[in-house]
């Protein structure tokens, strides 16, 4: 395992952050020995299809390897299936569940998120599903039988993607959301209403402002009562209650954590030999430390961590963005979340499309849209370049956004 003289870079975690960190480390230091340790016994795969095409039967998890069709080997990265259980920071080694040790000169942690488990719905309870990895996606897929009654707890992005997949398959689908509206954390009221209407048109019942009071499981199904007095019966339940950062390994090793592994703008943790990236990490945003849970951030953050593990001193400055797919809606957001309320401008688009901007200091600070991919690609550049914009022109769909770049 050890090769004296060669720089050894070890990456823990086979999600996009870990995969891109490993690939980028090898690219930046071709002479280094780069090893990716993943606790899943397969080539690293993309998670976004798990709530979409994998559930509707259009794709299998292995159809989307993160590293491309020839996997990590094509990038000259060693992939090993190993669950890392401890870090020996003095000896510069990671220790796995089977007692194997991997020595490192630089270590990158990319352990991602773990599902937020609700006490009423313990993982492993019969008929109850959480969705984070391919095993859980396969189990859920086989339970999504047309005609069954599905109750989804949580009207966030994952819950609604599962709802769209299940409704498409012909399940009787209900979403229970505790907040007064779906996607309250993600989008403005009008855009949320547009998405909600689309779900209702596909037969999905959305019950918002509902707090679950009582759950009873029996042989034939699950009964749920809410505090407002409503009752629901289901054959299966999917819990989409968000995620939390997977910090256990870093915290046990004495690294600084605070709702995430804390890193600086170079992805360095409180130990200079250890970097961290992706969903599990809190990093310096424009105003304060921030944690993001989306694919693009994981990829870009991983790339910076990988280069810096190989000796660079790059600063992470990607603009955050996310997407979601529900039915024929391609939902996207770009820009930093607001620390304070911002002026909002809505552009009048036709054909069920939507585009809304939030402004700060005369420029666009963030935006979100539905089926407005081309516009949002331009908006990304307007935000990155801090181009001064005129609110009236933004609202007017006859004024091309492209022209504002000049």
Ligand X SMILES: Cc1cc2nc3c(=O)[nH]c(=O)nc-3n(C[C@H](O)[C@H](O)[C@H](O)COP(=O)(O)OP(=O)(O)OC[C@H]3O[C@@H](n4cnc5c(N)ncnc54)[C@H](O)[C@@H]3O)c2cc1C
- Please give the full DSSP string across 264-301, using - where no structure is assigned: -TTSB-SSTTEEE-GGGEEEE-SSSEE---SHHHHHHH
The residue among 156 and 375 lying less far from ligand X, judged by its C-beta, is: 156
Where on the phi/psi map is residue 351: left (φ > 0), alpha (ψ -120 to 50), or beta?
left
**How many CA atoms lie less than 13 Å away from 399 in the CB half-sphere?**
12
Taking CB under 6 A as the criterion, the residue among 177, 279, 300, 375 binding ligand X is 279
Task: Say which residues have a Cβ less than 8 Å from residue 298's Cβ, sequence separation at least 6.
Answer: 15, 16, 17, 20, 110, 112, 277, 278, 279
> Which of 36, 67, 131, 183 contacts ligand X by CB under 6 A?
131
Min separation Cβ 163 and ligand X, Å: 13
Considering only 27-35, 104-112, 257-265, 353-361, which stretch makes contact with ligand X by CB under 6 A? Answer: 104-112
Residues near ligand X (CB under 6 A), total: 37
> DSSP string spanning 298-324?
HHHHHHHHHHHHTT------PPPEEEE
Selected from 158, 169, 267, 356, the binder of ligand X by CB under 6 A is: 158
| Residues between 11 and 30 that touch ligand X (CB under 6 A) | 12-18
Least gap, CB of 83 to ligand X (angstroms):
5
| 294 lies in the binding site for ligand X (CB under 6 A) | yes
Instruction: Give 19's DSSP letter.
Output: H
Whole-number minimum distance, CB 333 to ligand X, in Å?
A: 9
Closest CA to 149 of 219, 195, 205: 205
Binding of ligand X by 160 (CB under 6 A): no
| 112 touches ligand X by CB under 6 A | yes
Query: Which is nearer to ligand X, 226 or 330 (by Cβ)?
Result: 330
As to burial, measured by CB atoms within 10 angstroms (0-12 exposed, 13-18 middle, 19+ buried), residue 273 is: middle
110 binds ligand X (CB under 6 A): yes
Binding site for ligand X (CB under 6 A): 12-18, 37-40, 47-48, 50-51, 83-84, 110-113, 131-132, 158, 246, 249, 278-280, 293-296, 298, 322-324
């Amino acid at each position: 395992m050890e090769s004296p003289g060669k720089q050894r870079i070890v990456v823990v975690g086979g999600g996009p952050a870990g995969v891109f960190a490993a690939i980028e480390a090898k690219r930046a230091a071709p002479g280094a020995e780069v090893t990716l340790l993943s606790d899943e016994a397969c080539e690293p795969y993309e998670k976004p299809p798990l709530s979409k095409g994998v559930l509707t039967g259009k794709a299998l998890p292995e159809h989307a390897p993160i590293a491309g069709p020839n996997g990590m080997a094509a990038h000259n990265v060693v992939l090993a299936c190993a669950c890392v259980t401890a870090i020996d920071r003095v000896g510069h080694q990671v220790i796995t569940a089977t007692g194997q040790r991997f020595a490192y000169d630089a270590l990158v942690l990319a352990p991602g998120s773990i599902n937020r488990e609700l006490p009423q719905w313990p993982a492993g309870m019969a008929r109850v599903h959480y969705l984070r990895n391919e095993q859980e996606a396969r189990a859920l897929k086989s339970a999504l039988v047309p005609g069954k009654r599905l109750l989804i707890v949580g009207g966030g992005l994952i819950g609604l993607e599962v709802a769209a997949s299940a409704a498409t398959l012909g399940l009787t689908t209900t979403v229970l959301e505790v907040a007064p509206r779906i996607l309250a954390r993600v989008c403005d009221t009008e855009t949320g209403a547009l998405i909600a209407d689309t779900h209702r048109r596909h037969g999905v019942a959305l019950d918002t402002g509902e707090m679950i009071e009582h759950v009873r499981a029996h042989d034939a199904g699950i009964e749920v009562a809410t505090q407002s007095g409503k009752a629901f019966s289901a054959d299966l339940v999917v819990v989409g209650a968000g995620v939390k950062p997977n910090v256990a390994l870093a915290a046990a090793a004495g690294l600084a954590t605070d709702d995430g592994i804390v890193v600086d703008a170079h992805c360095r943790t409180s130990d200079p030999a250890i970097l961290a990236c992706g969903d599990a990490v809190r990093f310096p945003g424009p105003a304060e430390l921030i944690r993001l849970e989306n694919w693009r951030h994981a990829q870009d953050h991983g790339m910076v961590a990988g280069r810096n593990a190989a000796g660079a001193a790059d600063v992470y400055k990607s603009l955050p963005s996310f997407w979601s797919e529900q039915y024929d809606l391609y939902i996207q957001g770009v820009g930093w979340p607001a620390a304070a309320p911002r002026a909002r401008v809505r552009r009048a688009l036709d054909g069920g499309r939507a585009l809304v901007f939030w402004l700060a200091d005369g420029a666009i600070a963030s935006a979100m849209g539905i089926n407005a991919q081309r516009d949002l690609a331009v908006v990304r550049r307007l935000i990155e370049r801090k181009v001064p914009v005129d609110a009236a022109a933004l609202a007017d769909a006859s004024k091309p956004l492209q022209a504002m770049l000049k």
